[in-house]
Amino acid sequence: MIISHRHRYVFLKTKKTAGSSVEIALSRSCGPDDVITQLPRPDEELRRQAGGLGRQNNSAPPLTVSLHEHSGARRCRRGVGRETFEGYYRFAIERNPWDAVVSLYYWVNRRTGSYSFEEFLERPEVANLAAQNHAIWHIDGRVAVDRVVRYESLEHDLTEVWQHLGLPGSPDLPRAKSGIRPGRVPYRDLYDAGGRQRVGELFAPMIDELGYSF
């Protein structure tokens, strides 16, 4: 998460949507008063190499409540105050949920390979991803951002955000958390009819809002 007072925006970081890479790119143009949450150690090293600012100003005080990298819109609004939150340009990233679940599967299985994909779909991590990402950019079930950037058109959409905010340079994203998914396996190859239906049901609110399909 980043709250930039310098450029008057809030970036709400969803899971499995290249959020760390985007946060690293954004942090290159942040100022000393901006709120930047901490990334995992390898990503913090990428951020340092990219010339971005690291974690700062995300604790209480100076905020009303502390914020972390995946804090949702409600907590963010509480942390900086309604006037600031609603007065800034707010954006988040979303991804086709069937693809996001495959990405999560390889991330969770990266060390032990404990689960088959069919087994994984029944685990709480999948339902948690649906609920947590939805809560990150909604408050009381209502959209709390000005724009939802599509992972599938990330470069194009972020370039438009950069231009809208007047940020210097271009997104120029690093590859944080890359190399986990072998050979970019097409997500459709992993699903049977039951798995496709389960993900569709878990992510139904987001699918309805953004028009994703299998």
Instruction: Please report the pLDDT score of residue 193 as a whole number.
Output: 98
pLDDT of residue 182: 67
- The pLDDT of residue 21 is 95
Q: Which residue has the tokens 């496709």?
A: 196
pLDDT at 180: 60
Q: Give the pLDDT confidence of 97-123 residue by residue, as tens digits.
A: 999 999 999 999 887 778 899 999 999
Residues near 29 by Cβ (< 8 Å), separated by ≥ 6?
A: 4, 6, 7, 167, 168, 169
Mean pLDDT, residues 144-151 taken together: 98
Range of the domain at 142: 2-210
Q: Percentage of residues in the chain with pLDDT exceeding 70?
A: 96
Integer Cα distance of 186 and 103 in angstroms = 10
Which CATH number covers residue 98? 3.40.50
pLDDT for 149-193, tens place per residue? 999 999 999 999 999 999 998 898 987 665 566 667 799 999 999
Average pLDDT, the chain: 94
Number of domains observed in the structure of the chain: 1
